[in-house]
Structure formats: C-alpha cells, structure tokens
A and B are shown apart, each in its own frame.
Chain A
Amino acid sequence: MTAVDFDVVVVGAGRAGTAAAYKLAAEDFDVALVERAKQPGMKNVTGGVLYGQILADLVPEFPEEAPLERHVVEHNIKLLHGDAEVSIGYRDMDLLEEPNYTLMLGKFDRWFVDRAVDEGAVFVPETTVRDVTQARDHAVVHTDRENGDLACHAVIGADGVNTTVGRATGIQRTMRNPDMALSVKKVIDVGRDTINERFNLDSDEGAAYIYTGFPEGAPTIGYFIYTYDEYISVGAVGGLEVLRWLGDEGYAESGTPLYSLLEEFVELDTVRPYVQGESLQEYQGILLPELSYESLPDRYDRRIALVGDAAGLVLNKGYTFRGLDYGIKSGLLAAESAIACDREGNWEAFGRRYDQWLENSYVLQDMKQHRHLPEFLKNERMYGAYPGIATETLRGMYSAGSDAQGLTWKQAYRAFRNSDAGFLDLLKDGYRGLRSL
C-alpha cells in the first residue's frame, strides 16, 4: 500500500468543501483543505440566502457564532412591466424560527474554515490544483506548488462551477451556453438605518427581492436585491444562451452586456428608491450552473467525488435560488462516504457510494421534483405577456381612468386578448407551472 499524505484531500474551501473537511476532521481523519485564494472567500461570490438548517445540524452554535448578515423574514417576487410592477410579498415572523440568513462569503467562509481548522483540518491556501490522477490504491492531487503533489485515499472536488477536478479527470463534460448562467452583482453601502427604513425591517431582519420582466420578454433574465447588515447587493442573472443573442433577437440594437442591463435596472422608477444614493463597494461576476436534473453531468469516478457547484447542484426555483445548502449537504455526504470506506478498509467505492447517497438526499430529490423548472423558466411569456396581463388587469382595478371600465374579469379577459399569449399557451404554461413549481 502506498503511503498517503492525507486520508482525504478536499479541493476548494467554499461551504461545500469546508463542510466536508469539518466533518472529516471532527471524526479524526487526516484531511487537507486546498484553496487557491490567499484567504477563504476571496474567489467566491453568492447572490442568495443560506437555508441554514443543514449547517445548524453540523455546527449547532453557528447562528450565534458565524458572521451572518440578516435573518431573512421576507421574500418578494416582482414582475416588471414597463413602468408598472406587480409584487407578491411574503413576510412571516415564523421564518425567524428557521436559521436562514444572507451572507458575505469573505467573512463567512473565513469563519467556517477556522472552525474546520479547530477540528483538525489542514488548510492549504494559495495553492491551485492542476490535475487529479488515480492509481491502483490511491489518488494524487497535483498542485502548482513545487513538490506540492498530495497522495490520498480519496479526493473531494469542491472547486466550484469551473471545476478543475471535474474537467481534468473527464468526469464533468464540457459545459455549453444552455447549461450556464452569468451573474453580475454590486455591493452597495447604504447604511443600516436606511436599509431598515427602505425595506421596512427591524434590527437584523432581512429581505430578499427577485425581479423578472425586464427587458420585456427576455427569457431567463432576472434580478435580485438582498439586504446585508449595512450593505445591500443588487445583481442580474441571465442564461448565457439568451445573453449571447440578446440584441440580435431585437431586444436591443446590439448584444447588450449584463452589466448594462443591471445599470438600466437600478434606474427603473420601481427599483431606484431601494438602491439610490449608492456608494459602490464592489462589483463582481460569476458563472452558475443552470442544469436540470436530467442534464446533470456525472459526479464521481472511483476515488473522486464532485460536490456543490462543481457537481451542478444549484436550482433556480424562479422565486428563490438554492445552492448554498445543497453544497453543504453534498460535502457532508462525501465525507460520510469516506468515513464508511475507511471503516470497511475499501476506498474503491468512495465515489459511487457518495453518488447513491446524494441521489437519495433531499438535494437531488428537490432537483428531480423541479426537473421541468429550467425549461419552464425559459418561456418568453413569463417575462413579457404574463406580467403585462397582470399589470393591465390591476390597472383596471385601481385606476379611475376611462379605459378601465367593466368588471375585473372582463378587464382581465381584455388584457389577455391584447397580449401575445393564446388560450392554448395559457393552459399549457399553467399546466407546466403547476407541474414544475
């Protein structure tokens, strides 16, 4: 048997990789957590809410100890149509019972890695992994450091959407435009009191806003606003396939960059009040997987397991994004597979066992149940005709103008007839929506 440097090498110190390292270290495994940035979080970007129950199961003291931003008590979906907006708001103080928070990864990831190191994990920063190879009875992680190759029983690839572990080993297939979305985000200093005023929040309560419908009819383009302690983040997300042709299809005169759409978005009358007086702290860009359950690539090969974004474990539900907790759960399952392999003295089943457990976990059950969602969210009518019908109907209900006459159902019917959507579309989309949401 070849001598190994570590039982397990985890590549990437995001939440997924760190959860795996924490768990393994807590079980007295020799585990290395390899990270290419100088500090955890420096290469990481999120636009989302941490649904923290899975982390609370692992680190019960996390809500008290971790640097968290705001405890999310309110979610809003906003359909934009020209100067109008239709909003569905959900505010519930019972949400305070759940450990769901907005995060800044620069602070959060540093804390989480420190906790893993406290448990005994070896943190190896400033080290980029170039390849992973497997021999008969071990695996080797090749890094860009001199004499920096690490032999181990198993490798956990937690190195994000552009996973080197996945691509260099051929586990992950080549990603193409339809499977990927681009996001740009701005972090703005607004101040704690102003945030509480603007978003109608108390102390450390937080809100999340999701927008669609701008530019009109452009499918897969969405926007978000999240509240942090003293800052807010405002960002745009769009499928690469749509962004590639946006403009050529007639939405603008030429290809419109996502950052330009974001600039236009924050200037909308309905959005500006939330973000005005902006003092930009940081601009960021990131790619995110936008795969459906059926199109997910492979996740393992013998002693190698891919977790989190590297395995494409992200779901845009339309009304919220899931990914942070999927990453943590998948990292934990990979760790548990390693623990089982060690107990049996056979590491060959490491990847397969992880994948089976992942398949049965809430992560893939969730993605399976929502497997029609990615296709549903590519429907142009969701971004044009339907917000239009909704705003026109509501204008009829609330405007005293002369064009708003008759009973509400008649106005709704008229708005529908004036839209691009047909009856069959409505039935079809309604059915698809019910089936996938």
Chain B
Amino acid sequence: MLTEDKKITTFQTAVIISNCMLGSGILTLPRVLADSMKNSDGWLSLIIGGFLVMLAGLCIVKLCRRFPGKTIFQFSTDLMGKWLGSVFNVGLALFYIFIAAFELRVMFEVTTLYLLEQVPRWTILMAFIWVGLYIVLGGLGAIARLFEIILPITIVVFVISLLLSSKIFEIDNLLPVLGDGVFPVLKGVGSTVLVFLGHELMFILTPEMQQPEKAGKAVVMGITVPLFLNLIAFIMVIGGMSVHGAISSTWPTVDLLRSFEIKGLFFERFDFFLLVIWIMQILTTFSILQYTSSIGFAQTFRINNKPILYFSMPLIFIIASVPRDVNELLSFSGVFGEIGVSLFMILPPIMLLYAVIFKKGGVR
C-alpha cells in the first residue's frame, strides 16, 4: 500500500504477540478461572499457564528455525506431506477466521451492552471489519507499526483503571493461598492457556523477522505483557468482587470498574476508558488473526493474499452473526479455545520431535 514491507524488528514481534493475546479474554478470564476452581488461587494458575505458553512458544520458534524463511503454511507440506499439509493449512486458516469472527462478536456484545445500546449489529460489525481491512491491507509492516502505538496506551490505561479499583479491594477475598491444595490450581491452568493463545503467531512471524535468531526472546517478551495485565485484572477483580461475585458476572472486569466511582479525579467513572481501549485491543487481535488466515490461504494456494482478505470479510461477518446469544458465543469460543490449545500447545512439541527425529528441515 503506502510503504513497502520491511522485515519487522524483534520488539515489533513481541508487540504483535502481546496485542494478539490481549483479546476478549481479559474481560472474562476472572470468571472462567474462578468458576473452574471455586477458589481464589487463579493467579497461580495464570503464572503457570503463562510459563507453559512460553515453553510452547519456544518450541514453535525452534521448529520455525529449522525451516528458515518459511511460515508454517509453507513448511507444513515438508513436514506432513503435500496433501496432509494442505489440509492442515486450510484447517488452520479457517480456524483463524472463526476465532477472528468470535472476537468480533464478543466486541459487539460488550459494546451493545455497555456503550451503544441502539446501534444495530450489522453497523458495528461492518465498521469494525472495514477498519480491520484497512489495517491488514497495509501488510505486516503497517500492522506492526500500528500495534506499537496501541500497546503502550493499552498498558497504561488498563493498569491505572484497574489499580483505581483498590478502593473496593479486600485482601481477604484472595486468601487463603492454596487452601484446597494444588489440584484446583492445575485444573485452572487449562483455562488460562485459552487466554494466552496468540504465541502461535510465531509460526508466521519468525520468517518475517529481521533477526530470526532473537525470536525466542520476542515470544517471551510478548507473553510477559499479557501475563502481567491478566494477573492484575484477576487479582483486582477477585479482591473487589470476591470469587462468588466474579462467578456470577458475565464480564467481571467491566463490572469491577462499574462498581466504584471516584470523586474529584476529573472523571468519576472508568469503565468507559477500559472499554474504549479494549475495543482498540480487539481490533488489533482481530486484524492480526484475519491477516494470518489470509496468509494461510494465500501460501497454500500460492496466490496473493489481498483478494482473500476481501473475500474473508463477508465470511467473518456471517460467522460472527451465527451465535444466538452471549452464552452460545462464549461456549463456541470455549470449544475453539480447546481446539486452539490442542493445536498450539500439544502439537508444536510433537511436530518438533518429529522434525528432529526424521531430520526434516535444515538442521542447525
């Protein structure tokens, strides 16, 4: 489009990973965790989950380094054979389309609940898809530069608005630590991994990097930011609303910010800040997912990815309109999250082992 694509820097890679992870999860995670564990130890699960995802991310990087200059969609055929590889690619690309559509729908649900009650669904979805399209048409360089602008704003606003809720924070809600033993914590790890999906972007980002040898560093940096933000969100939500309060709230993080007003700080209410920033964040998640899926189709069928971007717009719109209501949407997202976990947590080590044993790819 406007600028030719240069390779992205290590920092930009990390930023893209962070932005992709900070999606709809941060608004629902406290509920999901509290619900699956029934106690307040979720923050431990979060830390463990974060480290597991880092390990998976490092596996992916290792795998990509064996096929320099190739994305997953290009080397999957080397790994699995032509047919299986192509099927895998198409499946993966479709999976991304679905995830993107669900993120979009979650954005609509929250927007329509808290911000724009009377705006019809198609308007919000379409406006969003168009803006997303504008970003992704610019290619990865443009995406990276935009994300670099958005991420710092996100971090500052998220952290400040969440910390303001210390007004209603009660430490008792977070105690006792490990009262029910270790088992629930491990149970919670599964739910946290869903939130951290996004590390698999390394599959396509590694070959695009200026210094692919620093990809491991990038993925660790990229996961640290969402881990940190999700930790703060979880701790503040449980501290403010208690475990039982978080379980019954659809969007606990928003509800937390709706639970207090601060007088004399120029603004009384901070939920709008969070929501506005969060919508930007969803846009980043959405656009990178759409981009990835288009790259998938393009590289599988060896065509340009621009027409695919245009074609995926109506598809995304339709998929986003499929779920009947929030509950159905969240259960769909849950199912796709599970698929994502198996795809990107369990598969990479297996693929790596396979590649090492059968000497696939350039050995380094």
**Bind each other:** no
Chain B residues within 8 Å of A, Cβ to Cβ:
none
